[in-house]
Amino acid sequence: MDRRGRVGPWPGGAPPVECRAARTRCPPVRATAPAGRTTQSPAPGRRCRARPDMSTHDDLKFLALLVHRGHLDRKQAEPLLPALKGGAELDRLLVDLVGWTAKKVGMLRRTRAGEEPAIRGFDFLGRLGVGGTADVFRVRDKATGRTIALKILNPRCTRDPVQLKGFVTEARLLEQLEHAGLVAGYGVAKAGETYFAKMELIEGKTLLELMDEGHVFEEQVSLRILLEVAGVLTYLDTQNLVHRDVKPGNIMLSGGGDVKLIDLGFCAMKDARNLADSAVGTVQYLSPEQAAGGASADLRSDIYSLGVTLFHLVVGRLPFEGSDDREVLYKQVMESLSSPELKSRGLSPHVHYFIEKMMAKDADVRYQSWDELIQDIEEQLEGRESLDFTRDARTRAARRRGFGRRR
């Protein structure tokens, strides 16, 4: 890690950005109308001719894609099935029965139900990730000539007020906040029925992706990463914000070794009423007070989640697992860490101490401030002769580079 807080160069160059969110995809469908067909609706009252089975099959797949992408719900789609199987054209049914315009149907055909965006002002250079609520694309902004990331909200999420608000709030936060450890935001906008956010393009992978690929994080490197993330969370604290979803999947290492905290979708003001919402966050990293409900999250909740992240990095698995979310939540509240198991893993005493203190069930026993945690990590790292650290007043980042090795 150098003076700028970079963990180290990426072997073989920068890897592509990817998203670990759900990758369920519908089978590919034809983007244009097959020969002999048109996306224009027939004249009112005109009967549809029966068509070859292949055309019906294509329409059924396209209807499934429309549902999967959120353009239709199941209640709207199910009444269309008998007519489709009888040979009716899907395009006409969407116009006559659903109430869409022929222009909208044609647009959805051309873009494969929005899988291939049609937003003016951008050259689409490729898909970076497919998520549960949004897809991310590499684009060139024609207005600035800059290559950026474009995050596009899935159509079904635009009808969910909570998800839509979260998407817009995160985009505006990224635009307002300024920190090297956060992804820069360039604004949020709407094109037709499509919401999208412009963001800084980061070439890298998340810690979770790296672990899934077989990377092992040494203790020293894990603490360096924690130090950088704690610095970002310190900044959020000065802005009166709690992240509420700290986890390896939301911590990215760029190809140049920079540590980035991503996804502010659950971020909230400290005095916000929804801080007591126990459903917010990822259950495997949720603090006991949030899991139990009725207690507001504060910086100590983020410290707990960062402690779970440290455990996951150095042990290679989660501290509390279960058959479902309810079982995991129960363990977060009721079960203690197994000290003998931690010792059997060969962890050093100071890493063992960090995990125990950061993951204390009682929030009052944990670190009470980010400065306190950062000071302890810095002192521990600087006390190791094998590390060469700079006393940079802003980051105290390590000069030594490298982030992990493969199993």
Instruction: Convert the pLDDT of each residue in 49-93 to its tens digit.
Output: 444 455 778 888 889 989 988 888 888 999 899 988 888 889 999
- Spell out the domain ranges in the chain: 29-111, 122-199, 205-406
Round to whole Å and give the CA distance between 201 and 149.
5
Round to whole Å and give the CA distance between 55 and 292.
53
Task: Return the higher-pLDDT residue of 155 and 48.
Answer: 155
Residue 359: predicted pLDDT: 95
Q: Are 280 and 274 in contact (CB under 8 A)?
A: yes
Could you list the active site residues?
245
Tell me the angle at which helices 349-358 and 370-382 cross, rounded to the nearest 10 degrees. Answer: 170
How far are the Cα atoms of 159, 210, 212, 307, 314 from residue 317, in angstroms, in the given order? 36, 13, 11, 13, 8
Has residue 196 got a pLDDT over 50? yes
Mean pLDDT of 377-392: 60
| 205-406 maps to CATH 1.10.12.10 | no
- Comparing C-alpha atoms, which of 249, 285, 280, 276 is closest to residue 359? 285
Q: Write down the pTM of the prediction.
A: 0.68
Query: b/e for 318-333, b at 16 or more Cβ within 10 A?
Result: bbbeeeeeeebbebbb
Mean pLDDT of 316-345: 84
pLDDT band, very low/low/confident/very high, at 362 (cuts 50, 70, 90): very high
Please state, rounded to an integer, the average pLDDT across all residues of the chain. Answer: 80
Pull the structure tokens for residue 112: 């494969």
For 122-199, which CATH class? alpha beta
Round to whole Å and give the CA distance between 391 and 89.
70
How many residues would you count in the chain?
A: 407
Task: Return the higher-pLDDT residue of 274 and 317.
Answer: 317
Has residue 321 got a pLDDT over 80? yes
Q: Which contiguous run of DSSP H or E holds residue 300?
A: helix 299-315
